[in-house]
């Protein structure tokens, strides 16, 4: 089932690229593996889909070792608390996609510097203005990128967003357009240490729209692994608890 779902996702990406006149090689599939058991993640890795991401450091720590034999590339896409940075850096993470505030970036930079490491990051933008979601406000994004660009161990590679979730998928399109506009505005400023090559946007429901609007990374969970038992608010909203 997972293999078939992955094939269906690849086909959706191809179709969206054809519609948008883009090359499918420009779009990477990232598997959002929160709540998914390691044996099922392994099936996806064996099928060749090796870019994966967790939302919580603790969940990553439980799964990490069992997945290493398949040589995955790990990103991190969840809300990151400053007191979890140290734990996260125990793992080989290629990119943290959810940097949304300067104090978090500073603390990450300090730890990386002490370890003589660098880290690719994306800046998470709250393009839907929903209070329950993390991310820097769109109008504050350029300033935040400018500030973080001074932290030499952090390599800003682009922007990430979660589009407005709605039964009408088209509601997400303005969010993706906004992220693309911000990318272009930041490119014009031409800051040292900042490349704006990646736009991480689009999930199971709206990946097609995100690709039409320029996504280079789509983050897919349910369309590959099925529905989750936890509500997304458990991962996206700090005050939420499991019922
Ligand atoms: C869970 C999650 C996804 C994947 O969502 P689906 O709707 O299951 O595809 C993408 N991005 C983030 C940040 C997530 O937490």
Residue nearest to atom 14 of ligand 1 (CA): 32
Query: Angle at CA 54, nearest 5°, toward 52 and 57?
Result: 135
Q: Over the chain, what is the mean pLDDT?
A: 95
Is residue 79 in contact with ligand 1, taking CB distance under 6 Å? no
Do the Cβ atoms of 84 and 62 come closer than 8 Å?
A: no
Domains by residue range for the chain, with CATH: 2-236 (3.20.20.10)
Beta-carbon count within 10 A of 85 CB:
18
Quote the ligand 1 centre to 1 CA distance (angstroms): 19
- Backbone dihedral region for residue 71 (phi beyond 0: left; psi -120 to 50: alpha; all else: beta): left
Q: Which atom of ligand 1 is nearest to the CA of 222?
A: 8
CA distance 117 to 189: 26
Say what the pTM is.
Answer: 0.95
Do the Cβ atoms of 33 and 54 come closer than 8 Å?
A: yes
pLDDT of residue 133: 76
Per-residue pLDDT band for 243 (boundaries 50, 70, 90) equals very low
pLDDT of residue 213: 98
CA distance 34 to 54: 5
Q: Give me the DSSP letters along 188-210.
A: HH--TTEEEEEEE---TTTHHHH
Q: Which atom of ligand 1 is nearest to the CA of 235?
A: 15
Per-residue pLDDT reduced to its tens digit, 26-40: 999 999 999 999 999
Per-residue pLDDT reduced to its tens digit, 228-237: 877 777 777 6
Per-residue pLDDT reduced to its tens digit, 153-188: 999 999 999 999 888 999 999 999 999 999 999 999
* Structure token pair of residue 144: 């935040």
Query: Angle at CA 27, nearest 5°, toward 42 and 198?
Result: 105
* Structure token pair of residue 139: 């109008």
Beta-carbon count within 10 A of 141 CB:
24
Q: At a CB cut-off of 8 Å and minimum separation 6, what does 167 contact?
A: none
Is residue 133 in contact with ligand 1, taking CB distance under 6 Å? no
CA distance 64 to 197: 28
Quote the ligand 1 centre to 153 CA distance (angstroms): 27
Lowest mean pLDDT among 47-51, 131-135, 211-215, 216-220: 131-135
Q: Taking residues 74-85, report their average pLDDT.
A: 97
Per-residue pLDDT band for 80 (boundaries 50, 70, 90) equals very high
| From 12, 77, 235, mutation site for ligand 1 pocket: most ligand atoms within 8 A of C-beta | 77
pLDDT of residue 146: 98
């Amino acid at each position: 089932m997972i293999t078939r779902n992955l094939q269906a996702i690849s086909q959706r990406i191809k179709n969206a690229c054809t519609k948008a006149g883009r090359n499918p090689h420009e779009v990477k599939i990232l598997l959002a593996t929160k709540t998914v058991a390691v044996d099922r993640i392994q099936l996806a890795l064996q099928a060749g889909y090796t870019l994966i991401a967790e939302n919580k450091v603790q969940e990553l720590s439980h799964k990490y070792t069992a997945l290493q034999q398949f040589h995955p590339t790990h990103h991190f896409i969840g809300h990151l608390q400053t007191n979890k940075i140290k734990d996260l850096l125990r793992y080989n993470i290629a990119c943290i996609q959810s940097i949304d505030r300067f104090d978090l970036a500073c603390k990450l930079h300090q730890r990386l510097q002490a370890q003589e490491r660098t880290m690719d990051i994306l800046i998470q933008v709250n393009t839907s203005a929903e209070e329950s979601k993390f991310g820097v406000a769109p109008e504050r994004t350029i300033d935040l990128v400018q500030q973080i660009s001074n932290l030499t161990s952090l390599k800003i590679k682009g922007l990430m967003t979660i589009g407005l979730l709605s039964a009408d998928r088209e509601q997400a399109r303005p969010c993706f357009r906004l992220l693309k506009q911000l990318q272009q505005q930041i490119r014009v400023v031409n800051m040292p240490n900042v490349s704006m090559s990646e736009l991480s946007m689009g999930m199971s429901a709206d990946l097609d729209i995100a690709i039409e609007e320029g996504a280079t990374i789509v983050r897919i969970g349910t369309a590959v692994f099925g529905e989750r038992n936890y509500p997304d608010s458990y991962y996206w909203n700090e005050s939420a608890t499991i019922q």
